[in-house]
Chains A and B, each alone.
Chain A
Amino acid sequence: MFVAPAFAQESETHSETGVAHEAGGAFPPFDSSTYPSQILWLAITFGLFYLFLQKVVLPRIGGILEVRSDRIAQDLDQAARMKEEADAAVAAYEQELATAKAKANAIGQEARDNAKADAEVERKRVESSLDKKLAEAEARIALIKDAAMSDVGTIAEDTVGAIVQELVGAKVDKSAVSAAVKAARS
């Protein structure tokens, strides 16, 4: 390298280099007599370091990171799949719920209709029986009224007979009284 000639001179002038330089006080970083040794050992150590990192350490760390990112991607995929499954389950549940609701409504409606029909029938039955009772009652009232009316005739005749007897003081002919009552009533 380019330092070699300079170094050759140096090493000639200071044959016991180390001690001579320390005493001489040359600034160590610029002391070219140490350059070959430093370059050689740097090449050896750095070369080995480079090879070690390239062959062993970096593939290993790269592998670790790759495995981890793969694993994370895989986990994310799995999570997405599970979410899909959960969504499907929720949809199925909603569907089930909707059909169940519809069914419940239908059953309720049917029950309501049945109850309504039953109530209607009952009402009609009750109404007809009431009508019958009403008719009966009306018939009886008419009967009673007729009886009462005929009773009213006899009572009026008796009363008229009594009043006339009181007023006139003589027995009145019964047939004449009933004819007069009949004429007044009609």
Chain B
Amino acid sequence: MADDPIHQFQISKWIPIEVGGLDFSFTNSSAFMVATVATAGAFLYLTTSSRGLIPSRLQSVSEMSYEFVASMLRDAAGTKGMRFFPLVFSLFMFVLVANMLGMIPYFFTVTSHIIVTFALAMLVIGTVVVYGFWKHGLKFLHLFVPSGVPKAVLPMVVLIELISFLSRPVSLSVRLFANMLAGHITLKVFAGFITSLSALGALGIGGAILPLFMTVALTGLEFLVSFLQAYVFAVLTCMYLNDAVHPSH
């Protein structure tokens, strides 16, 4: 069982809860969601509690993440988009910390489950649609009708725009989910090679050096991917929110 690379994604119930035939159990996934939120929240809260005019190292990490997300959102959606700053910042921090916690051995990776990433993506797209219609009414539909397109090809263009809009939540969620899932499986497989090769005696131990190096390198790569995917998720969120703020192309 321990060699099974899929085992790490198994969800196990810690506190069974069932309401109306639906299973709302507190699982290891739930526990790591709580851990993610607690870690991120505690870090941001505690490092800024001194409100230093000259920031300590940890305080400047919090400030840097704040300014990083703020400039990302301002570049993509302008100052009007800054009202979504808490949402984008929460998403970025949640995904980043969940990915990073998942890198610790034996820890569960919350973002390796498609339903979690899909729910986050739907939150983004839902915000875009609701805010777009609330702010601009039917003018929000101009999003699907680029100006300056000849009448003859307009239906085609609208169809393409519509499909691309509908595929956004899918691409947004699958990108994050697949990256985390594939990365963790690859790590597990290479790490599994080490143990199974070294069980073969002296020659095997010599041969196990290669997957060991591979595992070390992949671990570094996975840390990069963890950050990068959180960044990509936040950037795309900013760009989609820009459509809600400025619907006409």
Contact = CB atoms under 8 A, between A and B. Distances in A.
Interface of A: 3-4, 7-8, 11, 17-18, 21-22, 25, 27-43, 45-46, 48-50, 52-54, 56-58, 60-65, 67-68, 71
B26 interface: yes
Contacts of A43: 119
28 contacts: A4-B22, A11-B22, A18-B12, A29-B114, A29-B177, A29-B181, A37-B29, A38-B113, A38-B115, A38-B116, A41-B33, A42-B33, A45-B37, A46-B33, A46-B37, A46-B120, A48-B37, A49-B93, A49-B94, A50-B86, A50-B87, A53-B44, A57-B48, A60-B48, A64-B52, A65-B66, A67-B51, A67-B53
Nearest to A60: B48
A28 B67 contact: no
B40 interface: yes
A111 to B, nearest CB: 62
B85 interface: yes
B86 A28 contact: no
Contacts of B216: none
A45 B85 contact: no
**Residue of A17, A27, A40 most packed against chain B (CB within 10 A):** A40
A54 B34 contact: no
B44 A57 contact: yes
Contacts, number: 141
Say what secondary structure dominates the interface of chain B: helix
Interface string B1-26: 00000100111110001000111111
Nearest to B180: A29
Contacts of B119: 38-39, 42-43
A29 B24 contact: no
Given A34-B11, A38-B29, A65 B48 contact: no
Contact of B89 (A25, A58, A68): A58
Given A7-B22, A50-B86, A54-B86, A27 B29 contact: no
A49 to B, nearest CB: 4
A58 B48 CA distance: 10
Given A29-B177, A41-B33, A65-B63, A22 B10 contact: yes
Nearest to A18: B13
Contact of A61 (B27, B62, B116): B62
Given A29-B114, A49-B93, A61-B62, 20 more contacts: A7-B22, A7-B23, A11-B22, A17-B13, A28-B10, A29-B9, A34-B27, A36-B24, A37-B29, A39-B115, A41-B24, A41-B26, A45-B33, A45-B36, A49-B37, A49-B41, A53-B41, A60-B51, A62-B66, A65-B67
Given A28-B11, A34-B29, A71-B53, A58 B23 contact: no
A29 B112 contact: yes
A39 B26 CA distance: 11
Question: 5 tightest A-B contacts by CB?
Answer: A41-B30, A54-B86, A45-B33, A28-B9, A49-B37
